[in-house]
Amino acid sequence: MYTKDGESYFIVDAHIALWDARPENQLNIHGKQFIDCFYDYHRNLSPESELWSYEEYLYYGGERLMKDLFDEGHVDHAIFQPARLGAFYRNGFGQTEEAFALASKHPDKLTYNHCWDPRFEQAGLDRLRRDAERFQLKGVKLYTAEWHGDSRGYKLDDPWSYRYLEAAQELGIKNIHIHKGPTIRPLDRDAFDVADVDKVATDFTDLNFVVEHCGLPRLEDFCWIATQEPNVHAGLAVAMPFIHTRPRYFAQIIGELLYWLDENRIQFSSDYALWTPRWLVERFVDFQIPEDMTEYAPLTVAQKKKILGLNAAAMYDIPVPARCAVTEPAAA
């Protein structure tokens, strides 16, 4: 909960991780390249006061996570969105057992989403059924650029991917978070293309598709799809920290999202531990569209409340204290 100028904001951090990128968990050079890339994101977009050392960044553990999010970060509820990266890390990048144990200990604060990879075909599908039961899954995180054997990425509209989405429907896994990394195969086309999201959103209208970092670097393609598909949502992972380094660019992203989507389909996240939530929440509450950007309307308190927590709370049935609500309910 964050309170400013008499307004109370219920905060849901919709995309967090508990990763282990220490050298002993790195399987090959790509494990190092991957965490180095994350660390450069962190160093490039964080205010100086929020910088972590490289050592801290490799692995931070559950206690630090609880402190950064809930003691200091104003967060009321957070959702794990793990990436497995089995081709880069021995025991995976996202730490399933550790994160799930933490979520089980703090069910009021943490939701554990798991991941799947359709290239495991039937064995993965059987696994998904067991995982859904064990983790009581409401959502999954899909990283389409994951490497797997000779394959370096998949599309959501691949035949096996459809079977997994059908299973999700049946198992009550309603929220599909999608991270479009550079999907490699085939290399002929745009690696960040979001057209496959369009297809699955049309064919699975009862599922929510949350596109992380709002389709960036393809914001316009994402907006075009989201305008036509009411079950496509924007996750603000990676976009949020621009509020510090490039506030005018951030204003344009938010302005475009509010124009093409609406205020009920945008979700805040810190992408912890890429960044920490405290400063992002505080700055977003203080944020306003610059006056000379007349093409965008000023942000309202109600819009900020929805983006910071009410939208994700509605999607995940997380109870919200009455004083944090807005008069018009956020849509699920």
The answer to whether the peptide bond before residue 273 is cis (omega within 30 degrees of 0) is yes
> Does 22 help bind other proteins (rule: CB under 8 A)?
no
**Spatial distance between the Cα atoms of 235 and 262, rounded to a whole number of angstroms:** 13
Of 147-166, binders to other proteins (CB under 8 A) are 150, 152
Task: Indicate the residue among 154 and 242 with the shorter CB distance to other proteins.
Answer: 242
The two tokens of residue 290 are 């610059």
> Does 332 help bind other proteins (rule: CB under 8 A)?
no
Region from 36-44, 97-105, 297-305, 306-314 binding other proteins, contact rule CB under 8 A: 36-44
Q: How far is the CB of 147 from other proteins (least distance, A)?
A: 9
> Does 41 help bind other proteins (rule: CB under 8 A)?
yes
Angle at 312 between CA 168 and CA 111, to 5 degrees: 65
**Spatial distance between the Cα atoms of 316 and 101, rounded to a whole number of angstroms:** 19
Task: Indicate the residue among 202 and 288 with the shorter CB distance to other proteins.
Answer: 288
Region from 96-104, 132-140, 217-225, 309-317 binding other proteins, contact rule CB under 8 A: 217-225
Q: How far is the CB of 157 from other proteins (least distance, A)?
A: 17
Region from 121-129, 219-227, 272-280, 305-313 binding other proteins, contact rule CB under 8 A: 219-227
Half-sphere CA count of 312, side-chain side, radius 13 A: 32
3-state secondary structure of 234: strand
Other Cβ atoms less than 10 A from the Cβ of 93: the count is 24
Residue in 90, 105, 129, 189 binding other proteins, rule: CB under 8 A: 189
Pairing of the two strands 2-4 and 7-9? antiparallel
Angle at 264 between CA 272 and CA 271, to 5 degrees: 5
- DSSP helix, strand, coil percent of the chain (3-state; round to 5): 45, 15, 40
> Does 292 help bind other proteins (rule: CB under 8 A)?
yes
Residue in 2, 116, 242, 275 binding other proteins, rule: CB under 8 A: 242
Task: Indicate the residue among 22 and 249 with the shorter CB distance to other proteins.
Answer: 249
Q: How far is the CB of 286 from other proteins (least distance, A)?
A: 11
Residue in 1, 3, 22, 43 binding other proteins, rule: CB under 8 A: 43
E-strand spans in the chain? 2-4, 7-9, 12-16, 77-80, 110-112, 114-115, 139-143, 175-179, 208-211, 232-235, 266-267
Residues touching other proteins, count (CB under 8 A): 46
Contact, 144 vs 181, CB < 8 A?
Answer: yes
> Does 290 help bind other proteins (rule: CB under 8 A)?
yes
Task: Indicate the residue among 190 and 328 with the shorter CB distance to other proteins.
Answer: 190
3-state secondary structure of 3: strand
The two tokens of residue 321 are 């204290």
> Does 286 help bind other proteins (rule: CB under 8 A)?
no
Residue in 1, 37, 297, 332 binding other proteins, rule: CB under 8 A: 37
- Please report, as ranges, the residues that interact with other proteins according to CB under 8 A: 30, 33-34, 36-37, 40-41, 43-45, 150, 152, 181-182, 184-192, 216-220, 223-224, 242, 244-249, 252-253, 256, 259-260, 290-292, 295
